[in-house]
Amino acid sequence: MLNKVILIGRLTREPELRYTPGGVAVARFTLAVDRPFTNKQGEREADFIDIVVWQKQAETCTQYLGKGRLVAVEGRLQIRSYDDSQGIRRKAAEVVADQVRFLDRPRDERQAPVAAARDTSTVAEPGFSEVNFTEDDIPF
């Protein structure tokens, strides 16, 4: 059996970070994913998919991602049931992310707190090694 989901979309809001009673980080955000067609009025439509990220990756997503950022999410679809405040049984579908890849750069300094504090001769992206270079290394 196979349960694998790959999505590319934009965050609809800032990720929300919480911790379990055991101290495990969990982040939630919603991803807007364009549909491959338009509606009758010629407008593009999107699906809004809830994403759950765990542990260190949850903290990294919260630190570097913000509303509007483009990401690829690879994970599994999970359907869970719960009772709402009126006692009605509900179901929720969400993607539990195994991997979140950042596909664009932050638009402003607030979304890149670590990169903004670094020297301009150092380039680092989350999930990649830091690269140091000098003007002599630039080929143009």
CATH number, domain containing residue 17:
2.40.50.140
Q: From the CB of residue 15, how many other CB atoms can be counted at a distance below 10 Å?
A: 23
Instruction: Identify any residues that bridge with 54 across adjacent strands, giving them in sequence order.
Output: 26
pLDDT of residue 128 exceeding 50, the answer is no
- Overall number of domains in the chain: 1
Parent domain of 39: 5-107
Whole-model pTM: value is 0.72
Flag whether 115 is in a domain: no
57 in a domain, yes or no?
Answer: yes
Share of the chain above pLDDT 90, in %: 66
Write down the mean pLDDT value for the chain. 82
Look at residue 131 and tell me if it is in a domain. Answer: no
Flag whether 55 is in a domain: yes
Position 80 scores a pLDDT of 92
Pairing outcome for strands 44-54 and 131-132: unpaired
Which helix (H) or strand (E) segment is 111 a member of?
A: none
